[in-house]
Structure 1
Amino acid sequence: MKLARAVTLAFCLVQLTIPCSLAQSNQDSQGTFEILKQPANAFPQTLSWWDSIYMFRNFQPGRITYFTGFTPQQQLKLNYNLYYGQMDLIEANGDTSQLEALKTIRSIEVGNDVFYYFPKIGYLHVLVQGDIVLAAHTMLHLYSMDRANGYAVPSNLAAGGDVRGRPSTVDKYYINASAYYFLDEERQALVPAKNVLTKMFSEHKEGINEFVKTHSTNFNLEKDLLEVVEYCNSLRRLSSGKENRMVVRANELAFKILRDSIYRFNEFQDGTVVYQDGKMKTYGNALNYNRLSGDLEAIVSNDTLKASNSDFISTCILGSTTFLKRPEGFIEIVLNGPVSVGVVRKLALVHSQSPSASVKKNIADNYNPSQVANNIADYDREFAAQNQYYLIDTRGQIHLPSSSALYRIYPDQKKQIDQYIKAHQPDLRNESDLKLIISRLESK
């Protein structure tokens, strides 16, 4: 692995003074920090501890999200560099270089971990998500230095600076330590304190005061911060406990939390789209149905977009599955025949809860399923998988399943319909029951 570019580009200046909020999660079992020494006149890249400058053992698949909500589909191979306090990536040619820290970056995913970027602080590693976020700025901090070989301490070090990546005329000692921050609903980075919590959760001020007193919370200790943040985030929780219900917490990205449930198929499919004018378009491993937005989506130039001319689609075939585009939505055919059974599958917002009783808003109007990738709200939202079934007759007309709809579709079989319903008591909102009754009627 080559680090030459990172070394030449990333001579950064950090403060010699260790922040007072550095917590003790990076200490060993005896309560002391592991100290990494850079001897005078030695390049740090030649030292034994240089192999441990990354937060993660291996580079992880990663994605960048910008403040606009845009997330490029291209996956990067990323790792967080503790020595430089930067995000490194492996380029296509195998070189390791620094990811340019743009002010437009909102967050970066590295594997299953999330980092928020603050130009004046650096990368904050998210430890707890929720109404209030606990994040850590972790890196190798300059702990102390000694004169060596009779040389005077350089003026830049005496003034409190540390040039990284180069030899020094003094012995330098580093520790891996973290400064902790609370991130509020506006994603401001705040120094952890009780008054921050009581201000954010004003309706629970007494409970927070009691928790902090009972637990003797130390706002400089990671284990104490984890406890108090988990407690505060539990104060405003939807907890339906119902099957097939998914909750997106306040200030969390809906697309990220629901990602494994959004698409109809685990992988994008080969597909053919037929338009109303009879024209066709073929996609290779590039089509899927988004249950949250109700749109057919295509991968185009490594980005996921609504399929072109979506409003004029008539039919689409994804793998071996056929969809009809109708005003009701994309109807997936689950039983094909003279009379077909179809379903529109959706992930629907079924309940939402304002984080604070003092917040007055019509929260249902604030949810826009077409803006999935950019949808963050300051209230908890509960989603559920909902399937609306339809009967499609020989003329292509759409019917909601009911006994009267069956009478209209099969006018000569009213007696058989009544006998079947009496004998089997089918649930006409259930896919298996619908398939059985239609199959029976079609066999007559």
Structure 2
Amino acid sequence: MFIKKYYSQKTETMKTGIILSFIFGVFSLALQAQDTKAIRVKADTDLKYAIPVAERYRYPQFKEGTVSFFNAAPATAKLNYNFQLGEVQFLSLTKDTLSLANEKTIKQIQIGENIFYYDVAHGYVERIATYPKAYLVVKTMFKVAAVEKMAAMGKSSATSSIREVNMLSTGNSSVQKLASKGDIVFSKDKLYFLMDLNHRFYKTTKGGFLKLFPTHKKAIEDYFKAENLDLENEDHLKKILQFCSELPQ
């Protein structure tokens, strides 16, 4: 009810459609070997129906959640995160699936036991680890991993030159059809960030850790030299944050 009150103006405040362009070298054969969850979309398929519902959402079903605002009372509803759109959605009183609007007013969103934040530059992120001075957060979305040329007899070729694909998101819980003369391979992409208690974002690089913990630069530099760290590995990022959090204040 409260979500409906705050967001019934969704169609009036529809975000301007943004064309996201992805340019990648095609490596679909390698991708299929490395990522069993890669999804192939046939040429000229309506993207709205291309990605299975089970892969499209963070949770199998919409869950009870709470949206907390900076300057308004919290609101509750059935919520879910849509990987395909990069938006938090809710079920209206009429069971329609709608996306939250006016995200800048949102302080945080709790869905079940998970916490989400909205940032203008990065969109929605999920908190996956909590430390005294920082959070580890992740942004998960589908990305175009490969685009294949249309070969003879209308078949899609697994080898192709670099291609550009346009995906149009209306920001109103919908996407438009991809115009492509070949199959498109999507993969679920995770991008990690460090976030301080004031919701400022830092890259998960050595420089990002040094900025987040500026009084311990020497100790952090030595730690990075001593450890074999993969800064795209979630467990390694947690390990570094744990080390930084245990440094003397």
Q: TM-score, normalised by structure 2?
A: 0.72
Partner of 1:347: 142
Q: Is the 8 A contact 2:138 2:190 kept in 1?
A: yes
Aligned pairs for 1:12-161 (under 5 A) are none
Letter matched to residue 81 of structure 2: Y
Partner of 1:430: 233
Correspondent of 2:130 among 296, 318, 336:
336
Letter matched to residue 307 of structure 1: L
Partner of 1:281: 75
Change (3 A) 1:248 1:420: same
Partner of 1:233: none
**What's the CA shift string for 1:282-323, capped at 9, x where partnerless?**
01xx21111111111111112211124445323111101001
Partner of 1:429, secondary structure, is coil
Letter matched to residue 269 of structure 1: K
Q: In structure 2, what is the Cα distance between the partners aligned to 1:436 and 1:299?
A: 38
Partner of 1:299: 91
**1:385 partnered with 2:185:** no
Partner of 2:200: 397
Structure 2 residues not aligned, in runs of 5+: 1-27, 153-162
Post-superposition offset of 1:376: 5.0
**What's the CA shift string for 1:405-424, capped at 9, x where partnerless?**
21122122222212322222
Partner of 2:215, secondary structure, is helix
Q: Which has the higher contact order (CA 8 A, sep 6+)?
A: 2
Letter matched to residue 195 of structure 2: I
Q: TM-score, normalised by structure 1?
A: 0.42
Structure 1 residues not aligned, in runs of 5+: 1-237
Q: In structure 1, what is the Cα distance between the partners aligned to 2:177 and 2:106?
A: 26
Post-superposition offset of 1:372: 4.0
Change (3 A) 1:341 1:281: same
Larger Rg: 1
Letter matched to residue 398 of structure 1: F
Letter matched to residue 56 of structure 2: I
Q: In structure 2, what is the Cα distance between the partners aligned to 1:429 and 1:401?
A: 8
**What's the CA shift string for 1:82-105, capped at 9, x where partnerless?**
xxxxxxxxxxxxxxxxxxxxxxxx
Partner of 1:266, secondary structure, is coil
**1:440 partnered with 2:246:** no
Letter matched to residue 348 of structure 1: K
Aligned pairs for 1:306-317 (under 5 A) are 306-317=99-110
Q: In structure 2, what is the Cα distance between the partners aligned to 1:405 and 1:377?
A: 38
Correspondent of 1:262 among 56, 68, 71:
56
**1:375 partnered with 2:166:** no
Aligned pairs for 1:184-333 (under 5 A) are 240-242=31-33, 243=35, 244-259=37-52, 260-283=54-77, 286-300=78-92, 301-327=94-120, 328-333=122-127
Change (3 A) 1:302 1:411: same
Partner of 1:241, secondary structure, is helix
Q: Is the 8 A contact 2:64 2:79 kept in 1?
A: yes
Letter matched to residue 375 of structure 1: K
Q: In structure 2, what is the Cα distance between the partners aligned to 1:429 and 1:241?
A: 20
- State the identity %: 22
Q: In structure 2, what is the Cα distance between the partners aligned to 1:322 and 1:351?
A: 32
Letter matched to residue 48 of structure 2: F
Q: Is the 8 A contact 1:250 1:381 kept in 2?
A: yes
Partner of 2:223: 420
Q: In structure 2, what is the Cα distance between the partners aligned to 1:326 and 1:261?
A: 24
Post-superposition offset of 1:425: 1.7
Q: In structure 2, what is the Cα distance between the partners aligned to 1:247 and 1:352?
A: 10
**What's the CA shift string for 1:31-88, capped at 9, x where partnerless?**
xxxxxxxxxxxxxxxxxxxxxxxxxxxxxxxxxxxxxxxxxxxxxxxxxxxxxxxxxx
Q: Is the 8 A contact 1:292 1:372 kept in 2?
A: no
Q: Is the 8 A contact 1:347 1:383 kept in 2?
A: yes
Change (3 A) 1:348 1:268: same
Q: Is the 8 A contact 1:254 1:372 kept in 2?
A: no
Letter matched to residue 335 of structure 1: A
Post-superposition offset of 1:374: 4.5
**What's the CA shift string for 1:414-437, capped at 9, x where partnerless?**
222123222222112221111111
Q: Which moved more, 1:308-317 or 1:341-350?
A: 308-317
Q: Is the 8 A contact 1:314 1:326 kept in 2?
A: no
Q: In structure 1, what is the Cα distance between the partners aligned to 2:204 and 2:98?
A: 33
**1:364 partnered with 2:165:** yes
Q: In structure 1, what is the Cα distance between the partners aligned to 2:197 and 2:81?
A: 26
Q: In structure 2, what is the Cα distance between the partners aligned to 1:342 and 1:428?
A: 13
Change (3 A) 1:311 1:364: farther
**What's the CA shift string for 1:108-154, capped at 9, x where partnerless?**
xxxxxxxxxxxxxxxxxxxxxxxxxxxxxxxxxxxxxxxxxxxxxxx
Q: In structure 2, what is the Cα distance between the partners aligned to 1:339 and 1:391?
A: 7
**What's the CA shift string for 1:256-305, capped at 9, x where partnerless?**
3312211111221111112232332101xx21111111111111112211
**What's the CA shift string for 1:214-266, capped at 9, x where partnerless?**
xxxxxxxxxxxxxxxxxxxxxxxx65524142211113332333122111112
